[in-house]
A and B are shown apart, each in its own frame.
Chain A
Amino acid sequence: MKFTGTVLKYGDNVDTDVIIPARYLNTIDKKELASHCMEDIDIDFVKKVKEGDIMVAGFNFGCGSSREHAPIAIKESGISLVIAKSFARIFYRNSINIGLAIVECEAAAEAIENGHEVEADLDNGIITDKTTGESFKTEPFPMFIQEIISNGGLVESIKNGIIK
């Protein structure tokens, strides 16, 4: 999995309430959810984000509620990959289950700045800040999780007989 995009950067403890405020949870329409993505932390996010952009954030990204609407809204908004110092656990598994690419890399998330161009090669575990030329190593996902991702998500993995 390879990604190239412009970075939109946020801080620590970005919670699911600011990713998609609960007042919009009366719908499951992906496009409608995406139209309110990040609204309570960055009102201009929806205007700024372009297809393929990469989100970078600090520790405990996606903390709070279990709402899968949060990774759905991010994915549907066009974000191709989220790099964070750490992820809250429900957000982490939701992202894997719905096929939103995420990667934990403290050094990269610290160094990469808003607006930088980034290339991420998750198969080989390398993130490159093309703006500065700096590179960072990442840990590969465990095999079981790689299989879920390569099958396109959890439901697909069950349908394909990977999980019985």
Chain B
Amino acid sequence: MSMTMTQKILAAHAGLEKVEAGQLILVNLDRVLGNDITSPVAIREFNKFGFDGVYDKEKVTMVMDHFAPNKDIKAAVQCKMCRDFCNEKEITHFYDVGRMGIEHALLPEKGLVVAGDVVIGADSHTCTYGALGAFSTGVGSTDMACGMAIGKAWFKVPSAIKFVLKGKLNKYISGKDVILHIIGKIGVDGALYKSMEFCGEGLKSLTIYDRLTMANMAIEAGAKNGIFEVDEQTLAYIKEHSDREAVIYKADEDAVYDEVIEIDLSEIKSTVAFPHLPENTHTTDEIEEIVIDQVVIGSCTNGHYKDLEEAAEIIKGKKVAGNVRAIIIPATQDIYLKAVENGLVKAFVEAGCVVSTPTCGPCLGGYMGILAKGERAVATTNRNFVGRMGDVESEVYLASPAVAAASAIMGRIADPKEVM
């Protein structure tokens, strides 16, 4: 046999006993996802070619999250186009303002992805669901259009890099530090076209939310997908959120990997990616004074309740530095509500932060926190490319919620231990 976890899921969905790296296959899809930016292009293609209806009204999913609540008239037109399409095609899982969340936090929460699924999404961070033991990957709008029409997508079967995790994370260290460390090590194209498969006894110390953050950023190493071995935590999470049964695929003992990398979680330090690539990583203990203007805590990478809790632990009872605008964005309505009920929002507002409705807004320089020329932000988001959050001469430093929170208090890039 000798297949990786990813290869086994792909083979099963292609109706094949065995697949091997490099093979081109047509795969059945368990879910097809789009957002308010990518879906309009898919809808245009879908309509242009006159497909009758979507392949499965339950499996096509659209989430209005990037420029919603509508940031301007053009964004309003794009959301309306999605809304009208979903109404007309009677699509069940259409998530609009008031019910939506940032797509990759929302889908796991709503139980729309379980282990063993194959999911494509017209959003590069669709790879997030690998945290639940699913094969999921970002595609473009044309793939989405065709996926909606026939429920299939073509793939080149990827080879894989195996990450064997051991040890335990230290206090104030989270999945974000681990994935930034890995990207710093292998580079932004270190896993190009490949799977990143995570396994080992170290998984025990990584919550599902740490794993979601790590799988989310597999794309920042160029990977096709990031995927975690399924364990009790995965199954418990799926049981809590979904009525569907998880299907467990395990890599063969003799599966062949391009590379095996061992990561000792106990050695990971707070890590920050400097502009303008996620691979430009530094640990907080080697950073000189970098004064900042803005902090963003949120996004599909780090907008989970756990992330807000880690930030609140640091921010509560303190004040955001006078030179900093701190923007907190719970990733979903449920997370928002929980943060209100448990006093997190109160702690943030009292400290001088703003707390926004769920949106991708600032992460991609859309709205809700754009940077001027020369400004610097520490963000828990996923990309720090030129102009990503605003002016081409602004800078984004990627970090964990704990580092972002400490930086908001100090007014410069700071380690959580400095304020605790």
Contact with A along B129-153 (1 / 0, CB 8 A): 0000000001111110110011010
For B364, the chain A residues whose CB sits under 8 A away are 17, 22, 25, 65
- Asked if A67 meets B38 with Cβ closer than 8 Å, knowing A40-B386, A163-B154, the reply is yes
**Of B44, B71, B146, B193, the contact of A89 (CB 8 Å cutoff):** B193
* Interchain nearest-CB distance for A24 vs B (Å): 9
Contact B140 A89, beta carbon cutoff 8 Å: no
Contact B189 A94, beta carbon cutoff 8 Å: no
For B154, the chain A residues whose CB sits under 8 A away are 144, 148, 154, 163
Contact B138 A90, beta carbon cutoff 8 Å: yes
For A60, the chain B residues whose CB sits under 8 A away are 188-189, 192, 222
- Asked if A17 meets B189 with Cβ closer than 8 Å, knowing A26-B67, A90-B138, A93-B143, the reply is no
Task: Give the distance in Å from the alpha carbon of A59 to the alpha carbon of B219 in the complex.
Answer: 15
Contact A68 B140, beta carbon cutoff 8 Å: yes
Contact B41 A69, beta carbon cutoff 8 Å: yes
Contact A27 B74, beta carbon cutoff 8 Å: yes
**Of A68, A86, A164, the contact of B189 (CB 8 Å cutoff):** A86
Q: Does A97 contact B (CB under 8 A)?
A: yes
For B41, the chain A residues whose CB sits under 8 A away are 28, 68-69, 72
Contact A158 B44, beta carbon cutoff 8 Å: no
Contact with A along B312-337 (1 / 0, CB 8 A): 00000000000000000000000000
For A163, the chain B residues whose CB sits under 8 A away are 26, 146, 150, 152, 154
Contacts of A87-122 to chain B: CB distance below 8 A: 88-90, 93-94, 97-98
**Of A17, A65, A86, A89, the contact of B224 (CB 8 Å cutoff):** A89
Interface residues on B, range: 35 or more
* Interchain nearest-CB distance for A159 vs B (Å): 6
CB closest residue in chain B, given A156 = B49
Contact A40 B392, beta carbon cutoff 8 Å: yes
Contact with B along A53-95 (1 / 0, CB 8 A): 0000001100111111101100000000000001011100110
Q: Does B385 contact A (CB under 8 A)?
A: yes
- Asked if A89 meets B192 with Cβ closer than 8 Å, knowing A65-B364, A67-B38, the reply is yes
For B45, the chain A residues whose CB sits under 8 A away are 155
Contact A66 B365, beta carbon cutoff 8 Å: no
CB closest residue in chain A, given B79 = A26
CB closest residue in chain B, given A157 = B146
Contact with A along B389-419 (1 / 0, CB 8 A): 0001000000000000000000000000000
Q: Does B269 contact A (CB under 8 A)?
A: no
Q: Does B181 contact A (CB under 8 A)?
A: no
For A40, the chain B residues whose CB sits under 8 A away are 386-387, 392
Task: Give the distance in Å from the alpha carbon of A64 to the alpha carbon of B150 in the complex.
Answer: 27
Contact with A along B350-389 (1 / 0, CB 8 A): 0000000000000011100000000000000001011110
Task: Give the distance in Å from the alpha carbon of A34 to the alpha carbon of B70 in the complex.
Answer: 23
Interface residues on A, range: 35 or more
* Interchain nearest-CB distance for B22 vs A (Å): 9
- Asked if A25 meets B189 with Cβ closer than 8 Å, knowing A158-B150, A163-B26, the reply is no
Q: Does A23 contact B (CB under 8 A)?
A: yes
CB closest residue in chain A, given B121 = A66
For A59, the chain B residues whose CB sits under 8 A away are 189
Contact B222 A89, beta carbon cutoff 8 Å: yes
Contact A93 B189, beta carbon cutoff 8 Å: no
For A63, the chain B residues whose CB sits under 8 A away are 188-189, 222
* Interchain nearest-CB distance for A8 vs B (Å): 18
For B388, the chain A residues whose CB sits under 8 A away are 17, 22
- Asked if A98 meets B142 with Cβ closer than 8 Å, knowing A23-B365, A26-B78, A67-B38, the reply is yes
Most A CB within 10 A of own CB, among B72, B139, B189: B189
Contacts of A117-164 to chain B: CB distance below 8 A: 142, 144-145, 148, 153-156, 158-159, 163-164
7 contacts between A and B (CB under 8 A): A17-B387, A68-B140, A72-B41, A88-B192, A89-B192, A154-B154, A155-B146
The residues of A with any CB-CB pair to B shorter than 8 Å are 13, 15, 17-18, 21-23, 25-28, 40-41, 59-60, 63-69, 71-72, 86, 88-90, 93-94, 97-98, 142, 144-145, 148, 153-156, 158-159, 163-164
